[in-house]
């Protein structure tokens, strides 16, 4: 099974990064659907995930809230990530850290999976949690540049 994060793993969100005058991160701006629609896909991510999805179920695990489900599905389909079988998203108002939220989802996935699990994510903080669950971690987006060399083997 292949589990893939979205923001900064397959979607380049650099144009949505903005700080408030007090220096805090502007989550309202970052989560603007019209801006999400404009995220370019990260180079090689689509090609590699398409090849992997021919042999393994593809699951997306995003820290985005449920209120962004429609725009997320639209973005995935528009950008060629249409072979996924499940999209996990955070409940609206869920204030847990990414680590705690994703850890809970890992538990659910592991209960029902009968094959090895690989996670592609930009958050290095998840690597230790993946080891705890026996999940192989790929650091994105850097991994795409390396894996593209081996795409014929995938």
Predicted pLDDT of residue 114: 81
Residue keyed to tokens 């538990």: 107
Distance CA 18, CA 74 (A): 23
pLDDT at 154 over 80: no
Average pLDDT over residues 3-15: 98
Nearest-angstrom CA–CA distance, 154 and 142: 18
Per-residue b/e over 116-127, b at no fewer than 16 CB within 10 Å? ebbbbbbbeebb
Radius of gyration of the chain (CA): 15
pTM over 0.85: yes
* pLDDT for the residue 112: 82
User: For residue 50, what are the β-bridge partners?
Assistant: none
pLDDT in tens, 23-72: 999 999 999 999 999 999 999 999 999 999 999 999 999 999 999 999 99
Q: What is the dihedral of CA 79, 47, 108, 133, to 10 degrees?
A: -140
> How far apart are alpha carbons 3 and 5 in whole angstroms?
7
For strands 58-65 and 2-4, give the pairing. Answer: parallel
Rounded to whole angstroms, the Cα distance separating 28 from 128 reads: 30
């Amino acid at each position: 099974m292949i589990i893939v994060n979205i923001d900064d793993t397959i979607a380049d969100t650099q144009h949505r990064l903005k700080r408030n005058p007090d220096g805090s991160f502007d989550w309202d701006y970052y989560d603007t659907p019209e801006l999400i629609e404009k995220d370019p896909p990260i180079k090689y991510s689509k090609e590699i995930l398409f090849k992997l999805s021919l042999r393994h179920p593809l699951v997306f695990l995003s820290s985005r809230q449920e209120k962004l489900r429609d725009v997320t599905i639209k973005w995935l389909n528009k950008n060629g990530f249409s072979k996924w079988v499940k999209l996990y998203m955070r409940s609206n108002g869920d204030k847990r850290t990414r680590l705690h939220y994703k850890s809970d989802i890992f538990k659910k996935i592991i209960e029902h999976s009968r094959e090895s699990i690989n996670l592609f994510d930009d958050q290095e903080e998840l690597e230790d949690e993946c080891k705890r669950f026996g999940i192989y971690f790929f650091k994105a987006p850097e991994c795409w540049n390396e894996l593209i060399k081996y795409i014929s083997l995938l």
